[in-house]
Chain A
Amino acid sequence: MADSAATDLLLETPLAGLHRELGAKMVPFAGYSMPVQYPLGVLSEHNWTRASAGLFDVSHMGQAVLVGPDHATTARALEALTPGEFQALALGRIRYTLLTTAEGGIIDDLMVTRPVDPAEDGRLYLVVNAGRKAIDYAHIAANLPADVRLEVADDLALVALQGPKAAEVLARHSTDSATMGFMTAIRTVVDGHDCHVSRSGYTGEDGYEISVAADRAEALVRTLLAEPEVEAIGLGARDSLRLEAGLCLYGHDIDEATSPGEADLGFAIAKRRRAEGGFPGAGRILSELAAGPARVRVGIKPQGRAPAREGTVIRDAAGVEIGIVTSGGFGPTAGGPVAMGYVPAECAAIGTPLTLVVRGKDLAASVVALPFVPHRYFRKQA
C-alpha cells in the first residue's frame, strides 16, 4: 500500500460513517479517508488483535475478477504477468503473488483466489493494494488475451477479522468458516449476508478477510463489533501488526525498484515457473534466486528503546553506509523497536551487527530472523 498526500477529493469506503460514529481519527491514505485509530489507541488496538479479535476496514483495497472461458485460459493469462502457479491452483485456494516488471521489479503484491464453486470456472479473484489499483488494472488489462477480461468489483467492501478469537467469533455467524484451512476461500452466508470469506490476513494471526456487498458491509460489521471479543482496529495497528509479522508494505518495503529475490519473497516464485520462466523479469528474478541477490530485505532489531523509522540510514561496523530502513517502528508485542530494511547479502546473516543513524546518532542494531512475532496461522489437523 502506498501513502498518498492529502487531497481535497478523498474517497470513502462504505464504512466511513461508522468509523466516524465510533470516534475514529480519519487520515488520508492511498486516496481514501481511512481510520488510523479509534479511541482505544494504536497500542491497545494492536494488543487487542494479538489477544482477541480485531476488525479492520480494508475496503480501500482493490477487488477485481479475471474472467476467462475456462480455468486454464485465465490461469495462463495471469501467469504471463506473475511468477505464480495458477494452472494447478485447486478450487478454493488462495495464493500470494507479484505483478512483475520486465526488469524484475515489483509492480504490486496481491492475493489470488480460485473460487471453490466449479460453476465459477474461469474466474480468478484478485485483491490488490489500494495505492496501486489504477496502475495494476491498466497493466493487467493491457496484457490480457482477447478471451480474458478484467472486471473491477468496486461495489464490494472488504473487512478483515484477525486474531486468535476470530474463528470462534465468526463461527457464531457462519456455519462453515471455522473448519476452513489457512489460505482457502469459500462463498458463505454470514449473519444473512452473502460473503466471500478467505482465511488469510496481514497480521500474522489467524483470521479472515470477508468480501461483502458495499450496502451490506455496515450491517455485517455492526454484528461483528457487537461481539465482546471484537474491537474496531485502525491502520496504525495494522501497520505495527504486519511489521512484527515481517510482511511487506508496498511502496515502502517493495516497489518497482526491488525484485522478489531482494525482497526475500522467493516463496512466491512457483517451482514450475522457476523451471519454465515465461513471466516478466524472469531472467533477472531467476538468476537472483540461483546466485542470490546483491542486497536483501532483513529483519533489524535496534538495541535500546529508540525506534528507527523508514528512511533511517544503515551503516556497517566500519561506518560505511550500506542500506536503508524501509519499515520501522515500535512493536508492542515484540516489546521494543523493530525494523526491516535492505542490506548487502554479505551483511544479511542473522546476528550481523549494524549501525543505524537516528537523528544523527549511531544506534547499535543487529540482523534478526523474521518474523519478530511468530505467525499463528490456522493449520488444519491432518
Chain B
Amino acid sequence: MTVYFTKDHEWVRLEGDAAYVGITDYAQAQLGDVVYVELPEVGKTFAKGDEAAVVESVKAASDVYAPVSGLVIAVNSKLPDSPSTINEAAETDGWFMKLTLTEPDELQGLLDEAAYKAFVDTL
C-alpha cells in the first residue's frame, strides 16, 4: 500500500487504480476542532490542484485541493455528521473521497512519507 503526500497537507493512498484522499494529521492539528465538512459530489472530476472539498474549524474555513487529477467514485458520507472524525483519525477513518486517477503519472510529483515528514519539520 503506497501513500503519497502534498505540501498542502493532503494524503493519497493508492488501492489498485483508485486512491483515497484526505488531510494529514499535521493539517488537522493545525486546523483544530473540525465542525463542518463539504464533500464533492460523486461523479465530479478534478484536475490536480482544484478545490475539491472544504473543511472548517470553529475559527476558519480551509480548502482541500485535489492532490491528483481524478474522478470522484465515493465520498466519506459519515464526515458531514461527525466532522470530528477528521481530528480523531485524519489519515484513516477521516478520508474525504475516493478517486479514479486520470493522470497517474502525477503521483511521481508528490512526496513520500519520509519527504513529507522532513517538510513538516521545516514548518
Contacts and interface: CB of A to CB of B under 8 A. Distances in A.
Interface of A: 36-37, 41-44, 46, 236-237, 239-240, 305-307, 309, 329-330, 332, 337, 359
Contact of A36 (B59, B61, B80): B59
A236 to B, nearest CB: 5
11 contacts: A36-B59, A37-B32, A43-B58, A44-B33, A237-B58, A305-B35, A305-B36, A306-B36, A307-B56, A307-B61, A329-B59
B58 A309 contact: no
B36 A330 contact: yes
B57 interface: yes
Interface string B51-87: 0001011111100000000000000000010000000
Contacts of A359: 38, 54
B108 to A, nearest CB: 31
Contacts of A309: 60-61
Interface of B: 32-33, 35-36, 38, 54, 56-61, 80
Contacts of B54: 359
A42 B36 contact: no
A209 B99 CA distance: 53
Interface centre among A37, A43, A237 (most CB of B within 10 A): A43
Contacts of B61: 307, 309
A359 B40 CA distance: 13
Contacts of B35: 43, 305, 307, 330, 332
B80 A42 contact: no
Nearest to A337: B36
A332 B56 CA distance: 13
Interface of A (DSSP majority class):
mixed
Given A236-B59, A309-B61, A332-B58, A41 B32 contact: yes
Contacts of A237: 58
Contacts of B36: 305-307, 330, 337
Given A305-B36, A337-B36, A359-B38, 18 more contacts: A37-B32, A42-B32, A42-B33, A42-B58, A43-B32, A43-B58, A44-B33, A237-B58, A240-B59, A305-B80, A306-B36, A306-B56, A307-B56, A309-B60, A330-B56, A330-B57, A330-B58, A332-B58
**Across chains A and B, which 10 residue pairs bring their CB atoms closest together, nearest first?**
A43-B33, A330-B35, A42-B58, A236-B59, A330-B58, A41-B33, A305-B36, A42-B32, A41-B32, A240-B58
A303 to B, nearest CB: 13
Nearest to A46: B58
B32 A236 contact: yes
A243 to B, nearest CB: 10
Contacts of A329: 58-59
A256 to B, nearest CB: 26
Nearest to A308: B61
A330 B32 CA distance: 13
Nearest to A305: B36
A277 B59 CA distance: 40
Contacts of B33: 41-44
Contacts of B56: 306-307, 330
B62 to A, nearest CB: 12
A240 B59 CA distance: 8
Contacts of B60: 309
A282 B14 CA distance: 67
A306 B80 CA distance: 10
A277 B35 CA distance: 47
Contacts of A236: 32, 58-59
Contacts of A330: 35-36, 56-58
Contact of A239 (B32, B38, B59): B59
Contacts of A305: 35-36, 80
A41 B86 CA distance: 14
B115 to A, nearest CB: 25
B37 to A, nearest CB: 9
Nearest to B63: A359
Given A37-B32, A236-B32, A305-B80, A42 B38 contact: no
Nearest to A44: B33
Nearest to A361: B38
A307 B33 CA distance: 14
A337 B57 CA distance: 11
Contacts of B80: 305
Given A37-B32, A42-B32, A306 B38 contact: yes
A237 B57 CA distance: 12
Contacts of A240: 58-59
Most central of B54, B57, B60 by chain A CB within 10 Å: B57
